[in-house]
Amino acid sequence: MKKVIMQGASKAATPYKQHSVQGITGMQAMREKNKGCSVLFADIFCGDGMNVIDGQEINGSPISMLEGLVGALLSMKGAPSSKYRCLFADISEGRATDFLPQRVRTWADSKGLELSDDCTKLLIPLKGKDGNILKEKAEVLLTFAQASAVETVNWISSVLRRRDKRRRACIFVDPNGPKHAPWEELRNLWDQHKRKVEITAHISATQLKRIKGAREVGKAMPQVPDHVSAMIGAFKGAGGWIRSPAGADQWTVAMLTMFQPRSDWKKAGFVAIDSEEGADTIRRLSLTAKEYNKCTK
Ligand SMILES: C[S@@+](CC[C@H](N)C(=O)[O-])C[C@H]1O[C@@H](n2cnc3c(N)ncnc32)[C@H](O)[C@@H]1O
DSSP state of 85: E
Domain count, the chain: 2
Compute the radius of gyration of the chain from its Cα atoms. Answer: 19
| Residue scoring higher pLDDT (258 or 11) | 258
Q: Are residues 209 and 151 in the same domain?
A: no
State the distance from the centre of ligand 1 to the C-alpha of 6, rounded, in angstroms.
8
Indicate whether 237 belongs to any domain: yes
Cβ atoms within 10 Å of 237's Cβ, excluding its own:
10
DSSP state of 259: S
Q: Are residues 246 and 113 in the same domain?
A: no
State the distance from the centre of ligand 1 to the C-alpha of 10, rounded, in angstroms.
14
Predicted pLDDT at 5: 63
Share of the chain above pLDDT 70, in %: 97
- Read off the pLDDT of each residue in 226-230 and give the average, rounded to a whole number: 96
Taking the model in full, what pTM does it have? 0.96
What is the distance between the alpha carbons of residues 222 and 165, in angstroms, rounded to a whole number?
Answer: 36
State the distance from the centre of ligand 1 to the C-alpha of 46, rounded, in angstroms.
6
Residue nearest to atom 3 of ligand 1 (CA): 47
14: three-class secondary structure by DSSP? helix
Which residue, of 174, 194, 217, is where some domain finishes? Answer: 174
Residue-number span of the structural domain to which 289 is assigned = 204-297
Beta-strand pair 197-204/167-173: parallel
Atom of ligand 1 nearest to the CA of 43: 6
Q: Are residues 120 and 251 in the same domain?
A: no
Residue nearest to atom 23 of ligand 1 (CA): 91
Predicted pLDDT at 7: 66
Predicted pLDDT at 8: 65
Burial of residue 148 (number of CB atoms within 10 Å: 0-12, 13-18, 19+):
middle
State the distance from the centre of ligand 1 to the C-alpha of 149, rounded, in angstroms.
9
Indicate whether 194 belongs to any domain: no
Q: In this predicted model, what pLDDT tens digit does every residue of 166-210 receive, in sequence order? A: 999 999 999 999 999 999 999 999 999 999 999 999 999 999 999
Residue nearest to atom 12 of ligand 1 (CA): 45
What 3 state SS string does 130-158 have? CCCEEEEEEEEEEEEEECCHHHHHHHHHH
Q: Are residues 215 and 141 in the same domain?
A: no
91 lines ligand 1 (CB under 6 A): yes
Q: Given pLDDT bands bounded at 50, 70 and 90, which one contains residue 82? A: very high
Q: Are residues 104 and 234 in the same domain?
A: no
Which residue, of 123, 153, 174, is where some domain finishes? Answer: 174
47 lines ligand 1 (CB under 6 A): yes
51 lines ligand 1 (CB under 6 A): yes
Residue 1 has pLDDT above 70, yes or no: no
Alpha helices in the chain (DSSP H): 14-32, 61-75, 100-111, 149-161, 183-193, 205-216, 228-233, 276-286, 289-296
State the distance from the centre of ligand 1 to the C-alpha of 142, rounded, in angstroms.
18
Q: Are residues 83 and 230 in the same domain?
A: no
Residue 264 has pLDDT above 70, yes or no: yes
Indicate whether 152 belongs to any domain: yes
Indicate whether 187 belongs to any domain: no
Name residues whose C-beta falls within 8 Å of residue 217's C-beta, 6 or more positions apart in sequence: none
What is the distance between the alpha carbons of residues 99 and 88, in angstroms, rounded to a whole number?
Answer: 12
Q: Please check whether residue 126 is in contact with residue 77, taking contact to mean a CB–CB distance below 8 angstroms.
A: no
Predicted pLDDT at 6: 62
Q: In this predicted model, what pLDDT tens digit does every residue of 23-41 receive, in sequence order? A: 999 999 999 999 999 999 9
State the distance from the centre of ligand 1 to the C-alpha of 113, rounded, in angstroms.
27
Q: Please check whether residue 205 is in contact with residue 227, taking contact to mean a CB–CB distance below 8 angstroms.
A: yes
148 lines ligand 1 (CB under 6 A): yes
